[in-house]
């Protein structure tokens, strides 16, 4: 299992909507929920804060995602799918959306949330989770 070496932020713009992905290392469900609150506060004027996380707790992986008011399956699931694809644990991805006035449709939303998360993951450095946990 691997995780991110350090927190990363990436941004894309799609039809005037701005998407900001914050990737954070978290070691517990409580830490993830606290970080989500911090990001919502930081971008308090944004319309949506969609997220997904995967936490390794002993021998199980706890997964959670949220579309935060976006149409079902257009944000949280695509973000979680990327974290799974990269085989990451102890990672939280929150994608904040500032609505630009143009509807993207369900396919457009899913693509935008995926692209923004993908960009953050491409900018990230990865380490073995066991070595990160010891530091």
For residue range 70-127, list pLDDT tens digits in order: 999 999 999 999 999 999 999 999 999 999 999 999 999 999 999 999 999 999 999 9
In this predicted structure, the answer to whether residue 42 has a pLDDT above a threshold of 80 is yes
The confidence score (pLDDT) of residue 12 equals: 98
pLDDT of residue 1: 86
The pLDDT of residue 135? 56
Summary mean pLDDT of the chain: 95
pTM of the full structure: 0.95
- Helix axis angle for 105-123 and 76-85, nearest 10°, is 40
- Sign of the C-alpha dihedral computed for residues 82, 84, 89 and 92 taken in this order: positive
pLDDT of 53 > 70? The answer is yes
CA torsion 66-44-95-4 (nearest 10°) is: -100
Q: What topology does CATH give the domain 2-130?
A: Ribosomal Protein S5; domain 2 (3.30.230)
**pLDDT at res. 132:** 67
């Amino acid at each position: 299992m691997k995780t991110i070496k350090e927190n990363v932020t990436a941004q894309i713009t799609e039809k005037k909507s701005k998407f900001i992905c914050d990737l954070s290392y978290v070691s517990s469900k409580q830490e993830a929920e606290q970080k989500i609150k911090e990001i919502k506060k930081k971008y308090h004027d944004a319309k949506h804060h969609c997220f997904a996380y995967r936490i390794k707790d002993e021998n199980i992986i706890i997964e959670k995602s949220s579309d935060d008011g976006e149409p079902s399956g257009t944000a949280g699931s695509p973000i979680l799918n990327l974290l799974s694809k990269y085989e990451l644990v102890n990672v939280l991805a929150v994608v904040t959306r500032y609505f630009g006035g143009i509807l993207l449709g369900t396919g457009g939303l899913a693509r935008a949330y995926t692209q923004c998360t993908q960009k953050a993951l491409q900018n990230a450095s990865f380490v073995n989770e066991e070595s990160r946990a010891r530091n």
